[in-house]
Amino acid sequence: MKKVYVGLSGGVDSAVSAALLKESGYEVHGIFMKNWSRNIGGHKCLWQDDLASARSVAAHLQIPFEIYDFEKEYFEQVAEYMITTYKKGLTPNPDVMCNQKIKFDTFYHKCLQQGADYVATGHYAKIEPGRLGVARDSSKDQTYFLYRINPDISDKILFPLGDIEKSEVRELAKKYNLPNYSRKDSQGLCFVGNVPMKDFLSEFIKPKKGHIMDDEGREVGEHNGAFTFTIGQRHGLGIGGGLPYFVYKIDTSNNIVYVTTDENSDLLNKKEFIINDCVWWSDIDEKNDYLVRVRYRSELKEAKISKITGGSYRVELTKKERAIAPGQSAVIYKDGCVVGGGIIN
């Protein structure tokens, strides 16, 4: 009997994944990853609630259960990366980095060292050796967050929910009488919880007043730290009256945020950008047309991809896209599968 270690988060998706794998004949082990336990800015970390939920699921399914403590690794490889990137005025994606560095590296390798034949999670995606495909439930598809998995380990990863609609998952949770079948899906920052990003960053970066300048060089407002803004942001700027403003540039060196009221401005809308630090599931053919997603839940856009020097690639969209944020990931698709992607420069 093949042994599979399942990352039990306390949520319904991972619980159903464990139930499906057990029903399929695997020897299932439930593992809870303790990645964060610190309260931030008055917001309570709910890791103990998640742990209790995961433990109850394992008990109900009658599977072995363990806790893996990765707080040190998570802080060093995800939280510090996120803080450092925001300090530079860029917009990182902690979920992408958590999957690459923690779930499918640190966690994955520990599971195999403990005797696992496979490692499974409750992600919505399809995976097989050398291929990462879009989930059947496209509204829940998580391949954007998973593209940085090392393709070489794809033969040891299972995503039981890849062919299941989210609504079916809730029904299966009831069918298996799982104790968390009605638990709400988790929200907010990966493993930290529902904490506003501004509050999280302010815990580690000292706020400092600065100027908000428009595209004609006029000061139109003040802020408490350029690092708390993202490209394309229009809410929370504190600029009253008239047309809405959009952030188009962040200068953390001088602590200045630049805005425009012109939604169609080339300052805000771009057709071409560069990606670095890429991960590829298959080779790029510069003659092909591809689909690109520049942030989670953004629409797929047609594009051409071409290689330039030093492992960087140029992405040329057929139409301009608003708020392409340096630091975010651009993920490239072809025929329902992830081709690869990289960090927007």
Catalytic residue among 45, 190, 278, 337: 190
Burial label for 219, CB within 10 Å (0-12, 13-18, 19+), is exposed
CB atoms within 10 A of CB 292: 24
* 25/3 Cα distance (integer angstroms): 9
Q: Are 82 and 97 in contact (CB under 8 A)?
A: yes
* 83/19 Cα distance (integer angstroms): 37
CB atoms within 10 A of CB 277: 12
Instruction: Tokens for 232, please give them.
Output: 């394309």
Helix extents (H) in the chain: 12-23, 47-61, 71-74, 80-87, 94-98, 108-113, 143-146, 166-175, 197-202
Euclidean distance between the first and final Cα of the chain, in Å? 46
Catalytic residue among 45, 98, 111, 278: 98
Instruction: Tokens for 53, please give them.
Output: 């939920």
Does 111 qualify as catalytic in the annotation? no
Under 8 Å CB-to-CB from 97, ≥6 apart: which residues? 77, 78, 81, 82, 148
* 164/310 Cα distance (integer angstroms): 40
Under 8 Å CB-to-CB from 282, ≥6 apart: which residues? 130, 334, 337, 339, 340
* Residue 280 Rama label (left phi>0; alpha psi -120 to 50; beta): beta
- The residues annotated as belonging to the active site are 98, 190
